Chain A
Amino acid sequence: MNEVKRTTCKCSTEIRNLSVTKRDGILLHDVNLDIHHGEILALIGRNGAGKTTLLKALLGRIPYTGSITFHNPEGKLLSHPHIGYVPQNMLFDRDTPMTVLDMLCANLTRFPVWLGHRKQQRQEALEMLKRVGARENLLDKRLGTLSGGEMQRVLLAFALYPKPDMLLLDEPVSAVDRMGIETFYDLVTALRKEHAMPILLVSHDLAHVEKYATCAALLDKTIIVSGPVRQVMQTNAVKEAFGLKLAGGK
């Protein structure tokens, strides 16, 4: 029964009664959310609403109560899903002597990158960069010297191997110029169409959410409202959370 239901409903990720508490209080409580295959779900909410906490729970980085289950498009339960994660402003040491090639290869293969790279891996890494529209000469650049837009592309390329069962994008455009934003979202939309990949997008930019997301969920410690993006945008809750002029733009 369940199997049939899942195939028809195409649920990829089911979050049920998820709560996260820390010493200084409740970060999330009773979060229920479904993310479907082939859907771009925008997670919106004010600062401190728990968006990043929810992402961390999805990544298994913090303890939580409740359940998160992942299914592939055929409805099979995935106990260790591949999650493609593009962090917001990745915190890392910019002085690390590590090239883009080093980073991509550390993910591509078990062959230790301190021994160098095989030709075939270099080729594969190059293909990965091309797929996300990044320039080839990034490969030998040090990670710490990349611009915001370049870094975002590299992180997306990194997230797409192995083919993720779900893509998590945390404010992916915050460090990218306007031209880069459009291309980035076109890329994400193409991925969604091509692979029916479920995508969870955390964003502040309601214009982008309206343009690119298919569904939206407003989070404030718990899910306040969720559904098709246009409906959610019209709700009073969203208007209140973001101020009338932003949400009522149309």
Chain B
Amino acid sequence: MEWFYRLVDTLLPFEWTEFGYMKNALLAIILITPLFGLVGTMIVNNKMAFFSDALGHSALTGIAIGVMLGIDNYLISMMGFALLFALGISAVMRKASSSADTIIGVFAATGLALGVVLLSAAGGFAKYSSYLIGDILTVQPEEIGMLGILLLVILIAWVLFFNPFLLTSVNGDLAASKNIPVGAIQQVFMLIVAVLVTVSIKWVGVLIINSLLVLPAAAARNVAKSMRSYHGLSVVFSVISGISGLIISYYAGTAAGGTIVLVAAVIFFVSFFLGRRRMHVSA
């Protein structure tokens, strides 16, 4: 960590980098925003924005279960519950005839309500309300190490499984004709989303996490033509929103998470108009 602090002091000798917590937050953002950009591309492609949102909501119940079991590290209970939750949603979607958004909506509401009820029963919800918005400024050096590992693991999965992910998202029958195990591939993808959401929820927050997953990819989609530019732009938009949002929040005295989302939203609208103009020009 020391080398990073020195690097920041040399490269970015500004007021906002003077504090250790800002340096930590910066490093955490550098590690985690590329993942939001990367994974977001397939969430948007698969029209799963609502699903990842529901996973975020389920985190509250995960925390509550952790509290009740007396586990210090809520991450384990959150991740365990999120995985069950994701599998539950996909199982019900296969069996039920209701539309996907209804089923996911039911799960999301249940996850959130159950979390609030259990936490309030366990001694007051207020103590855990920080999970709703998250606080990137509280990230600790050992947690940053974990984010580094997360980055590595998801990157490896994204290299190994991306082509099957892509073909499955284009058309399930077509993917199946190439002997791609469509169901298993969808579950691997859900697993990746569940891990990413639960690991980062503490700093990003239940209410904000989905914006970070969806906005950069949605913005990139407005202007990208190929998978490479889609991914490249999504990652760049995500990292830019993260870093500039952090800096702005420091000087404006606002919450970092919300500020980051607002920057991402501005990028989305700019790309939206650029994309439309390009369409008109080419048409």
A binds B: yes
Q: Is the CB of B227 within 8 A of A113?
A: yes
Give Cα A98 to B170, complex, Å.
10
CB contact under 8 A between A93 and B45, given known A98-B166, A114-B158: yes
CB of A47 within 8 Å of the partner chain: no
Q: Does A119 contact B (CB under 8 A)?
A: no
For A56, A92, A99, A102, the residue with the greatest tally of chain B CB atoms inside 10 Å of its CB is A102
Hey, what's the 0/1 contact readout for A126-168 against B, CB within 8 Å counting as 1? 0000000000000010110000000000010011000000001
What chain A residues lie within 8 Å of B177 (beta carbons)? 59, 83-85, 159, 168
Q: Complex formed: what's the CA distance from A111 to B47 in Å?
A: 24
A85-101, CB < 8 A from B? 85, 87, 90-93, 95-99, 101
By the criterion CB–CB under 8 Å, are A97 and B224 in contact?
yes
- Interchain nearest-CB distance for A147 vs B (Å): 15
Secondary structure dominating the interface of B: helix
Chain B proximity mask over A209-237: 1 for CB below 8 Å, otherwise 0: 00000000000000000000000000000
Of the candidates B159, B170, B224, the one whose C-beta lies within 8 Å of that of A92 is: B170
- Which residues from A are CB-within-8-Å of B229? 97
Give Cα A98–Cα B165 distance, bound, in whole angstroms: 13
Separation of A111 and B228 alpha carbons in the complex (Å):
12
The residue from B159, B174, B221 contacting A85, defined by CB atoms under 8 A apart: B174
Chain B positions within 8 Å of A56 at CB level? 173
Measured CB to CB, the closest approach of chain A to B228, in angstroms, equals 5
- Residue among A84, A93, A140 with most chain B CB within 10 A: A93
Counting contact residues on chain A (CB < 8 A from B), the size range is: 35 or more
Measured between C-beta atoms, what is the minimum distance from A103 to chain B in Å? 7
Query: What A residues does B228 contact at CB under 8 A?
Result: 102, 113-116
Measured CB to CB, the closest approach of chain A to B82, in angstroms, equals 25
Q: In the bound complex, do residue A114 and residue B173 qualify as a contact, i.e. CB atoms below 8 Å apart?
A: no
B130 on interface, CB distance cutoff 8 Å: no
B residues 116-146 touching A (CB-CB < 8 Å): none
Q: How far is the CB of A202 from chain B (nearest CB, A)?
A: 13
Residue ID in chain A nearest B177 by CB atoms: A85
CB of B172 within 8 A of chain A? yes
Do B170 and A112 touch across chains, with their CB atoms under 8 A apart?
no
Q: Which residues in B have their C-beta under 8 angstroms from that of A90?
A: 171, 174
Taking the closest CB of chain A, its distance from the CB of B236, in whole angstroms, is 13
Whether the pair A61, B173 counts as a contact (CB closer than 8 A) is yes
In addition to A114-B38, A114-B162, 19 A-B residue pairs with Cβ atoms within 8 Å of each other are A61-B172, A87-B174, A97-B226, A98-B170, A99-B227, A105-B163, A107-B167, A109-B163, A110-B160, A111-B163, A113-B166, A113-B227, A113-B228, A114-B41, A114-B158, A116-B228, A140-B226, A143-B170, A159-B177
